[in-house]
Structure 1
Amino acid sequence: MTMRRTALKPADAQQASIANVAERAGVSIATVSRVLNGIANKASAETVARVRQAVAELDYRPSSAGKSLRQRQSRLVAVLAANLANPTMAAIAASTEVALREQGLVMVLCDTHDDPMLQDEYLREMRAQQARAIVFLGAVASPMLDLVRGGPTPLIFVNRRDPGEPNCDFVGIDNAQAGRDVAAHALAQGIRRPALIHAPLASSATRARVEAVIGSFAAAGFPIPPSLVLGPAEKEHLALGYAAANLLERGGAEHDALICTGDLIAFGAHRFIEESPHSASLPIYGFDDNPLNDWVAPWLSSVLIPYGTFGRAVAELITDDREGADRQRVLPHRLIERRRS
C-alpha cells in the first residue's frame, strides 16, 4: 500500500514563532513586532498585508506567558516627558536615569511635547520593544494610553496623575497643599487681589494648584475675580505667561501680585513686565523652583519640588512587585521665598 505524506505547517507540528512569520513574510522580526503592535506608520501597506497574511496562514498567536517572562527580564525603561525644554522635567529625568542605572536598568527618554498623537506613537514603539516599565513625566489623555492601562507593562505617572485613573502608580508632591502654602504666604504678605496665571487645566497638578489658591483666598474673604484668572491658549509656558501679562495690562484690572502655576509661566510674565513701560513691579510666585532660579530669577518665590529624590522613588516602584504594596510616593515640598527686584 502506498502512503501519501502530507506536509505539515509549522502550526501543525508546533506553535508558530514570530521568526516563522518573519520568514514567511520576507521581513525582519522587528517589522513583524511593529505591525502586530499597531505601528503601521513604520511599514508600507504592502508589508503590513504580507505580515498579516503570514500570521493567518501560520495561525500565529503570541505567547502571553513568554511575553511576560521577557518583560520581567527586560532592562529597558521608557520615560516619556511632556516638555524637556522645561528644566524641571530635565532635572527629574536626570535623577531617574541615575536611579535606574543603579538598579541595572537602561532608560530611553522621549519628548511627547504634550501631544497625544506623539505620546501614542512612543507608547506603541515601547510596547513593541517590550519595555520593563513606562514612566510618564506629564501624561496627556490618549487612545493608546487607554489601551495599555491595566496591561502587563507597569505605568508610573510623575508630577501629573494618570488623566484617566487617579489611583495610579504616582510620584510627585501634594499639589493642593502646595497651592495652599503659596496662598497662605501671599496672604501673610498683605496680598489681597492676585492675578492667577495657569497652564491647561487638563493637568491634574495644575488643576489642584489652581483650585487650592482660589479656595484659600475665598476662604480668607478675598475671592479672586474671574477676570484675574487667566489661561491663554499658548502651547509653550513662556509664551503663555507673556500673553497673560499682556492681557492683564490691556484689561486694566487691578492686582497686587502674580501667582503662576509654573516657573516658566512666571518667566514669561516677568519678561513682559520688564518690557512694558506701564507695568509695575509685583511679587511673583511660581511652582517647581527649577535649578536656574537662584541664578536668573531672584524675584521669584517658588515651591521647590525635590527633583533629586524623584528618581529613587520611580525606581522603587518599578522594582517593588509586592502584592498590596503602596504605589503612591508623595514627596515633601517647601516654598522658597525670594525678594522681588
Structure 2
Amino acid sequence: MTPRAIGKSGRLRHESVSLATVAQDTGVSVATVSRIVNGKNGRASAETVARVAEAIERLGYRPSPVGRALRRRTSRVVAMLSPNLDNPAMAAIAVSTEAALRKAGYVMILCDTHDRPELQDDYLQAMRDQLVAGYVLVSAVRSKGLEQTLGRGEPVVFVARRNPLGGGPYVGIDNRAAGADAADFMLARGIERPAVLLAAENASSTAERAAGFVDRLVAHGVPADAIRRASAPGLSHIEIGYAAARALVAGGGWPRGVLCVSDMIAYGAYRLAAESDLAIPRDCALVGVDGNAINNWIAPWLTSIRIPYETFGQHVLEQLRSQWSGAEASEVYVPHQPLI
C-alpha cells in the first residue's frame, strides 16, 4: 500500500478502494462483492454478506458512479470523438450520428481530437467522468486511454477507420473496393499510368484505398513501379494534397490521372494545378473519395467516389444498441457509390 492511498484518519481513500480491494480483504470473489453491493444477496450466506458489509464500511469503499451508470445504462449521453471537424466528411458523419441518436432519445457530445492521441485520451477520460453511455470514435488513433477504455469493456463504435488496436465494431466502407473502382474508372478512359496522392502519416482507411487502387492496376497489367505515389506530412488534407502534388510533379510531371485518397487532398492538388495553368479534368483527371456535398458548388471538376455518410448514424446507433444488450460486436460495410 502506498502512503498516498492513506488519508489523515488512517483509512484508505475512497478512490483507491475497489471491488477487488474488498474481495481480497474478505476472501470472496469480486463477483460476490459486486452482487452484495448491488443488493443481490441470494447466493451469499448471511455470514458472507455481513463480512462484506463490514469490510465496505471499514475500508471506505464507495461504488463508482461511472461504472454503475454504464452497467445500468442510465445515461442518455453518447460521446463522439472525431478529428478535424473542418473536414466536410467528418462533419457529415457527426450530423448523421447526432440525428439518429437524438431520434432515439439520446444526446450527443462532440469532441475534436485533431488526430492527437493525448487529446483523444483527455476526452475519453472527460466523457467517462460525464457518465456517458458509450463512445463513437471517428478515425481513432492508437493511445493508452483507448486501450484502457476497451479493456474496461465500455461500449465503443469505430467509424471510418478501424480500431487501431484491432477488433471492435466498425461502420464504414470497403476502402479497398473504393480504390479498385477508381482504378477501373481510369482504365476505362485509357489512363494507363495514373498516380496516387496520400498522407505520409497514412491512416488505415486511406492506405487501404491506395492499396486497392494499385492492386487493381497491377492486376490489369500495369507494372507496380510505373504507378507513381507521392505523399506529404501533416494533418490538413488540403495542405497535404498541395505538397504531395508538388512532389509528384517535381518527380516526373503531371500524369493523365491521379487518385486522391480524400476529396480534401484533391482540393489541394487542384490548387497546384490552377497555379500551373493545368486544365482539370481535361489535362489530368482527379478522382477523390468522399463525395462531399459541397463539391457541386466548389469542385465541379472533381470526380469523386461518394460515401453515403448520411446513413452512417443509424448503423452507429444499432451497433451501440447491440453492445448495450450484450450482443457480439460486428463490422458494417456501407456500400459506396461507384463512379460512372
Give the TM-score of the pair, scaled to structure 1. 0.77
In the alignment of these two chains, the number of paired residues is: 286
Quote the sequence identity (%).
40
Alignment of 1:1-341 (within 5 A): 59-63=59-63, 67-71=66-70, 72-165=73-166, 167-200=167-200, 202-225=202-225, 228-253=228-253, 255-277=255-277, 281-320=283-322, 321-325=324-328, 327-337=330-340
Q: 1:226 to 1:199 in 2, by over 3 A?
A: farther
Give distance in 2, aligned partners of 1:226 and 1:135. Answer: 40
Tell me which residue corresponds to 2:33.
Answer: none
Give distance in 1, aligned partners of 2:227 and 2:234. Answer: 18
CA drift of 1:252 comes to: 2.5
Give distance in 1, aligned partners of 2:256 and 2:60. Answer: 67
Tell me which residue corresponds to 1:35.
Answer: none
Give distance in 2, aligned partners of 1:201 and 1:335. Answer: 27
Code of the residue aligned with 1:112 in structure 2: it is T
Give distance in 2, aligned partners of 1:58 and 1:158. Answer: 45
Q: 1:136 to 1:83 in 2, by over 3 A?
A: same
Any conservation in 2 of the 1:157–1:170 contact (CA below 8 Å)?
A: yes
**Mean Cα deviation higher: 310-319 or 199-208:** 199-208
CA drift of 1:169 comes to: 0.8
Give the TM-score of the pair, scaled to structure 2. 0.78
**What do the CA deviations read for 1:80-108 (whole angstroms, capped 9, x no partner)?**
11110110110110111011111111100
**What do the CA deviations read for 1:285-327 (whole angstroms, capped 9, x no partner)?**
0101111111111111111111111011111111224444552
Any conservation in 2 of the 1:232–1:240 contact (CA below 8 Å)?
A: yes
CA drift of 1:62 comes to: 4.9
Give distance in 1, aligned partners of 2:183 and 2:254. Answer: 18
Q: 1:131 to 1:323 in 2, by over 3 A?
A: closer
Any conservation in 2 of the 1:200–1:206 contact (CA below 8 Å)?
A: no
Code of the residue aligned with 2:118 in structure 1: it is M
Q: 1:272 to 1:284 in 2, by over 3 A?
A: same
Give distance in 1, aligned partners of 2:261 and 2:62. Answer: 46
Code of the residue aligned with 2:148 in structure 1: it is L
Root mean square deviation of aligned Cα: 2.5
Tell me which residue corresponds to 1:41.
Answer: none
* Secondary structure in structure 2 of the residue aligned to 1:198: strand
Any conservation in 1 of the 2:289–2:305 contact (CA below 8 Å)?
A: yes
Give distance in 1, aligned partners of 2:263 and 2:181. Answer: 16
Code of the residue aligned with 1:110 in structure 2: it is C
* Secondary structure in structure 2 of the residue aligned to 1:135: strand
Any conservation in 1 of the 2:181–2:339 contact (CA below 8 Å)?
A: no
Give distance in 1, aligned partners of 2:170 and 2:62. Answer: 31
CA drift of 1:137 comes to: 1.1
CA drift of 1:226 comes to: 7.2
Give distance in 2, aligned partners of 1:324 and 1:172. Answer: 20
Q: 1:334 to 1:141 in 2, by over 3 A?
A: same
* Secondary structure in structure 2 of the residue aligned to 1:73: coil
Give distance in 1, aligned partners of 2:74 and 2:135. Answer: 15
Any conservation in 2 of the 1:266–1:284 contact (CA below 8 Å)?
A: yes
Q: 1:127 to 1:282 in 2, by over 3 A?
A: same
Give distance in 1, aligned partners of 2:178 and 2:291. Answer: 12
CA drift of 1:204 comes to: 1.5
CA drift of 1:189 comes to: 1.1
Q: 1:118 to 1:60 in 2, by over 3 A?
A: farther
Give distance in 2, aligned partners of 1:85 and 1:225. Answer: 35
Give distance in 2, aligned partners of 1:298 and 1:309. Answer: 24
Code of the residue aligned with 1:142 in structure 2: it is S
Q: 1:185 to 1:61 in 2, by over 3 A?
A: farther
